[in-house]
Amino acid sequence: MGYVDLHLHSTASDGILSPTDVVREISARGLRGFSLTDHDTVGGVEEAAAEAARLGLDFVVGAELSANAPGRSIHILAYGFDPADGDMRAFFRDFRADRLRRTDEMVKLLRTLGPRITVDDVMAEAGDGVPTRAHVGRALVNGGWVREQNEAFRRYIARGKPAFVEKKPTPPEEVCALVRRAGGVTILAHPGRDFTQAELGAWMAGSFDGVEILHPRNDPDVRRTLEQLADQKDLLRGGGSDWHGADWGAPPGSQMVPIEWMRAIERRCTPTQ
């Protein structure tokens, strides 16, 4: 049946390859299809869809959306929604503004801690994409303030560190409802990394349509638990490499996500036009 990758990032957010080059990598690795899931943007979707059509790859619209609960971030993989939907467009517009606010506040905190980076340094890393903490980390590396990006997170910008700034309050229930109104479905991203089994059961009670089973940070025990949960609650199954380009993370196709999982996602979506 073939395999797909449903969790990928490009320069539209914090990846290091253009959407076109991400698609070419997918094709070169022999995959049948994919979804580009940049953070809080569909800025790369049109370009990716055009290259997918040229190369004969299956493609489903996607994005990795931000939400939060007290003391934690929640990432939501959204698929099959209408990117032209007015409420979705407003979400992306508002989140870009919030990410700019967050970047400005992180830079101010960093400057009190020693690193003399500027917002311009961060935006030079982001280019036309949505600014993220990864871009702040790269600016710290390029300025010589840390040796590598993981150090930037460990010392300064991970949750609980002195330059961490939270995104605006965004309940996951609201994000899931927004995606559904736009015809799409939602899958909880990398749950093995972030949630206990009890929490997973609560999240799957009504808000989410599925769970990301195949992810580089989900160990075999977690994957078995998630498979059981998906069976019990008739959940969609998701998976992907969470690849950002080059040697950042597992390569595309590494998670061997069956194309039937992509087909099931597409069947669950409801066209809005």
Residue 193: pLDDT above 70?
A: no
The pLDDT tens digits of the residues spanning 112-169 come to 999 999 999 999 999 988 999 999 999 999 999 999 999 999 999 999 999 999 999 9
Burial class (CB in 10 A: 0-12, 13-18, 19+), 183: middle
Residues 30-59 pLDDT 10s: 999 999 999 999 999 999 999 999 999 999
Distance CA 206, CA 127 (A): 38
Q: Which of 95, 100, 103 is nearest to 169 (CA)?
A: 95
> H/E/C letters for each residue in 68-124?
EECCEEEEEEEECCCCCCHHHHHHHHHHHHHHHHHHHHHHHHHHHHCCCCCHHHHHH
Q: Is the pLDDT of residue 247 over 80?
A: no
Residue 273: the pLDDT is 56
* CA–CA gap between residue 241 and residue 249 (Å, rounded): 7
Residue 194 confidence (pLDDT)? 66
Query: In terms of DSSP bridges, do strands 236-239 and 185-188 run parallel, antiparallel, or are they unpaired?
Result: unpaired
Amino acid at 237: R
Walk me through the domains of the chain, giving residue ranges and CATH numbers. Answer: 3-83+170-268 (3.20.20.140), 91-157 (1.10.150)
> What digits encode the pLDDT tens for the residues 211-237?
999 999 898 988 998 999 899 989 999
Q: pTM score, two decimals?
A: 0.93
Residue keyed to tokens 């995104």: 167
Instruction: Tell me which residue of 193, 201, 206, 191 sits closest to 238, measured CA to CA.
Output: 191
